[in-house]
Structure 1
Amino acid sequence: MSRLARRATLALAALAAAAAAALPAAAQPFPSRTLTVIVPFAAGGPTDTVTRLVAESMGRELGQTIVVENAGGAGGTIGAQRVANAKPDGYTLLLHHIGMATTPTLYRRLAYDPVGGFETIGLVTEVPMTLVAKKDFPANTLAEAIAVIRRDQEKLNYANAGIGAASHLCGLLLMKAVDAPMTTVPFRGTGPAMQEVISGRIDLMCDQTTSTTEQIKSGAIKVFATTTPARLEALPEVPTSAEAGLPEFQVTVWHGLYAPKGTPAEITGRLSKALQVALADPKLVARFAELGTAPVAAAMATPEAHRKFWLADIAKWKPIIQGAGQYAD
């Protein structure tokens, strides 16, 4: 090869390399770097627990690390706003619970669109709730607990993870069902609230099995009932609220994965498929079972099914919240 030909070949190679380097990030296979999932509640809470299990399994399927970041406060709206305002490239996601269905009504003024600001990726799990108390609470059954609540309602305190949190909604339902309001004490997340129940400084709390099951089994707290139609495999000895005489006290908490509005469909589709693989992971299924819950069916872990379910739940909770007249702002 002549010197001129070699120079031409080298020049072409250099141009090809420069063109490859200039390709936009969108042209690279997704994902090509670390992803972040925002949990809009404190570390150690039920949504945080679910997220870390899902992130670990999804990361293996995607071939990238998924970092879980807690951004609690304001009933989950601080973390949700961060994701709504994030670049819609699939690298910043939100894993939130039923609060995504109540926020549009609970908050009348928000700095982001609580519905139009997100793309759905898929549902994750539907978690049962349990009514629990400090271990020396003077009752051993739900009937006895109701009697104590009605008698001492002005003296008792009830913990929640903030307005709009699952524990807050469950508490509203409980107090309506027994017709006995208690002093509510909001915390910055379920983890801190649970620690106060364990310490004995808080009397009662209603929270997801992902947060309470291990504490119940260890004897750190007392349990009166689950808020489900049937008993739970993880807590077979605990009666349902209906069995215990309070059939109107039923609620479960679903979780879903979201991306910022405008995230391309091919990216949300890739994330949805990774989520479906993660939810079928035997290790995740087993760990969920230990926590008293189970992954949703694969058909529900899709963007379309998730959005349909979400919008229906917004419509369900709207009249309940408006009827109670309790808003977060």
Structure 2
Amino acid sequence: MKITRRTLLAAPAVLAMGPALAQAPKITLVVPFPPGGSTDALARLLQTNLQNKLGRVVIVENKAGAAGALGAAQVAKSPADGTSFLVTFDSHAVIPTILDKPPVDVERELMPVFLVGTAPYVIAANAGRPYKTFADVVAACKQSPGAVKYASVGIGTLGHLAMTVLGKKAGVEIQHVPYRGGGPAMNDVLGGHVDLIAGSAALVAAQLGTGMLRPILQLGRERLPNLPDTQTAIEAGFPDFETLAWWGIFAPAGTPADITSAMAKSVKEILSEPAIAAQLKETQQMTLLLEDAAPFKTFFDKQVAYWGQVVRENNIRA
């Protein structure tokens, strides 16, 4: 059954029609990471609301592996009929360069549908360490090269790449300790096994009330409202430097425009609801952009170009 704009935007009353609902093809939202992360949370929020809105069965499938490339490949190889979408985030832009043989061409086999929003990365220190600014970290690295260690949520993630760029610009070596996810990385920083963490604003903000973590640098262009006393990288002497987490939706290349436009419209309506928008801002520190395919493609192409160059220049491999 081919999905048209009419079927994708079917009235919620269809929910009351058991047989009709059972016959309608389900929509799968593929998350290319394990359950529990920010992308998984976004997909499950959309799942419930899309199902109610469209009168269609919507499921979330976690397909983790290869820096998000396995889930991306699954969607790329799915029928281009509106039954499969990828809900992913910033590391998607690094797949072309971080993997020796990526299983998917993210620029040709997938098409941008909707850009949800962005949030800055934040560098924070164990509160027992003496670092109050990034300049303190640079000074410590110059005094004892390699002695300062930072955690990231994995090789080739934007936290890792941002620290690579900052260290290079400052002329110092900051030792990278990669982890498989934000939970393990944060646990070791809080436990004092690692000095710093480069993570999303949401990951850092969740620990600010504990008194065990001190934010020292944020990588957005403007200070976050909940971090009014923490410098941006630009203020700290790194002109025009920013690193943003972002969340977006992709479809298999060749999916008809009326289908992708209808999905984008539905998602925008859901995320524009005040309670849902407030939830994302509070839990993910997210700035909602809610942009459709054209501006999303421009944004994504810039991310691929910039971070791809960082990966190549520093010979980084997952």
- What TM-score, normalized to structure 2? 0.82
Q: Which residue of 2 aligns with 1:227?
A: 219
Q: Does the C-alpha gap of structure 1 residues 33 and 157 become closer, same or farther in structure 2, counting only changes over 3 Å?
A: farther
1:275 deviates by 1.5
Map of 1:321 onto structure 2? 311
- Tell me the SS of whatever aligns to 2:7: coil
Give the CA deviation at 1:271: 0.9
| Offset, 1:132 | 1.3
Bigger mean CA deviation after superposition, 157-166 or 252-261: 157-166
Change (3 A) 1:207 1:253: same
* TM-aligned CA distance change 1:276 to 1:74, over 3 Å: same
Q: Residue 306 of structure 1 aligns with which residue?
A: 296
Q: Secondary structure at 2:28's aligned position in 1?
A: strand
Within 5 Å, which residues of 2 pair with 1:34-183? 34-64=26-56, 66-183=58-175
The structure whose Rg is larger is 1
Deviation, 1:248, is 5.9
Question: Within 1, Cα distance between the matches of 2:64 and 2:117?
Answer: 21
Shift of 1:101: 2.4
Q: Structure 1: how far apart are the matches of 2:204 and 2:281?
A: 13
Measure the CA separation in 2 of the matches of 1:171 and 1:144: 15
- 1:161-220 Cα offsets, whole Å, 9 max, x none, are 223322222222232233222332222233332233233323222111122212223434
Give the length in aligned residue pairs: 302
Separation in structure 2 between the aligned mates of residue 275 and residue 53 of structure 1, nearest angstrom: 10
Structure-1 residue corresponding to 2:230 = 238
Q: State the partner residue of 1:29.
A: 7
| AA matched with 1:42 | P
- How much does 1:318 deviate? 3.4
The answer as to 2:190 corresponding to 1:198 is yes
Give how far 1:121 is off.
0.9
Return closer, same or farther for 1:307/1:26 CA change in 2, 3 Å cut-off.
Answer: same
Distance 2:55 2:142 in 1: 54
Per the TM alignment, residue 76 of structure 1 is displaced from its structure 2 partner at its CA by: 1.7
- Percent pairwise identity: 29
Specify whether residues 132 and 46 from structure 1 end up closer, same or farther in structure 2 by C-alpha distance, changes over 3 A only: farther
RMSD value, Cα:
2.7
Within 5 Å, give how 1:205-216 maps onto structure 2: 205-216=197-208
Distance 1:175 1:88, change over 3 A: same
Return closer, same or farther for 1:251/1:133 CA change in 2, 3 Å cut-off.
Answer: same
Give the alignment partner of residue 242 of structure 2, picking from 233, 247, 250: 250
- Greater Cα shift, 149-158 or 264-273: 149-158
Q: CA deviation at 1:258?
A: 0.7
- Do residues 295 (structure 1) and 273 (structure 2) align? no
Distance 1:214 1:118, change over 3 A: same
CA-CA distance at 1:288 after TM superposition: 2.6
SS at match of 2:82: coil
Of 28-37 and 160-169, more deviation after overlay is shown by: 28-37
Matches within 5 A, 1:265-284: 265-284=257-276
**Separation in 1 of the partners of 2:241 and 2:302?**
20
Q: Is the Cα contact below 8 Å between 1:45 and 1:191 reproduced in 2? A: no
Cα distance in 1 for partners of 2:122, 2:295 equals 27
Q: Which runs of 5+ in 2 are unaligned?
A: 11-23
Once the two structures are superposed, residues 54-80 of structure 1 have per-residue CA deviations (whole angstroms, 9 ceiling, x without a partner) of 444444433445443433332221222
Which residue in 1 is equivalent to 2:16?
none
Q: Conserved in 1, the CA contact under 8 Å of 2:148 and 2:175? A: yes
Deviation at 1:257, TM superposition (A): 0.4
Preserved CA contact (<8 Å) 2:128 2:212: no
Once residues 248 and 25 of structure 1 are traced to their aligned partners in structure 2, the CA distance between those partners, rounded to angstroms, is 46
Q: Quick one: distance in 2 between partners of 1:255 and 1:269?
A: 17
Structure 1 runs not aligned, ≥5 long: 1-23
The question of whether the paired residues in 2 share the 8 Å contact of 1:146 and 1:178 is answered with yes
Residues 95 and 257 of structure 1 are in contact (CA less than 8 Å); yes or no, is this contact kept in structure 2?
yes
Partner SS state of residue 234, structure 1:
coil
In 2, Cα distance between equivalents of 1:148 and 1:58: 50
> In the TM superposition, what whole-angstrom CA distance separates every residue of 1:73-118 from its partner, at most 9, and x where no partner exists?
3222122222222333333321222323222233342222221111
Q: Hey, what's the Cα distance between the residues in 2 that align with 1:64 and 1:182?
A: 49
Q: Which amino acid aligns with 2:194?
A: I
